[in-house]
Amino acid sequence: MIEITIPRLGWSMEEGTFSEWLKRDGDWVEKGDMLFVLESDKAAQEIESFESGVLRLPASAPSVGQVVSVGQVIGYLVAREEVESFVPPETAPLQPAAAQPEPMAAKVATEEKIPEAGVAVVGAEKATASPRARRAANERGIDWKLLSGSGRDGRVRERDVLAAAVPATEKGLSAPLSATRRTIAERMLASVRATAPVTLTTKIDAGNLVNLRAQFKLAGKEPPPTITDIVVKLAAKALSSHPNMNARWQEGSIVRVDEIQIGIAVDTDAGLLVPVIRDVPTLGIIQIAERSHSLIEKARARRLTGFELTGGTFTVTNLGMYGIDAFTPIINLPETAILGVGAIRRDAIVLDDDRIVPGHSLTLSLTFDHRLVDGAPAARFLQSLRKLLENPAASLVD
């Protein structure tokens, strides 16, 4: 008998939401098959079986939308010859196979698209709800079957539950804190409390950077590399020369990391997510563009896996598209530093011969943990990155 338990999908995860079974009670499971979908505070992930056997589900097996704890036993795998004699280590009888939810196509649980106007609302007896909607309803004591769903075929979505739970007041609307928002708040507060953050800023001549980006767009390659993609690639090159910036604070000691894996901050409806582009020095700029584009799409669709959200050694966050020049980004624990990228502005550029010409400028904001690195090494890293970004084409050839 092999126990099936709830895995930990993130360093701070203690519980998650069970989304669906991908196998039914009595099904044969091969090693490597996907067993169920588990939703953490930031991502939904298909969980793989590391053993083979017949799936047996006890009466206490979680249902769709139920909150489960890390390490909780939710089922068992048994040998074929043990199926008839198998009794789970609890007194409750096994659920019959017919009572189990039908397996759905292996996919991450995501919200449905908003339907076109005129879609009829499904009656309470036929109502369906997304796993996130069920969880939100359970947390707020709301009977979701009585709600009018905005999803396809009247499916109740999380936003429908939240709308029903928000009381209107004379001062406006008061919305409850979502699990993702709560996690973001906890991590941001932990970073501020646990680090000694210092922010350095520098303005660079972005003329060559703007021209290179325009050339990529004219080349017709889809997706064309963005400014963030170019910054990620060149930041990795600078980190290779300044390994003290590619380190982590771990149990009271500084651990330098050989791999350079850069997180990119992504704004989503659920909150700020930071998927990780792995092994950046081994990737070309087009590969980085393709990976970042894919990760951003998955982040906004809530389809990121726990693996794609962990393992970063440095983070890049870009607020330039919102007209922000400089800011103080918060370090993504346990990393050493985070780079903020500001807006590209039309500016007066002073040349080496003192001539003033029109051009483009961009401000970089580097926040680093003074526990791990001092100001001068951090400034040298930022100086190296500035030189790379001011002549990006030559730097990308290598």
374 is catalytic: yes
Residue 177 burial (CB count, 10 A): 10
370 is catalytic: yes
Q: Which of 25, 258, 370, 398 is labelled catalytic?
A: 370
Residues belonging to the active site: 370, 374
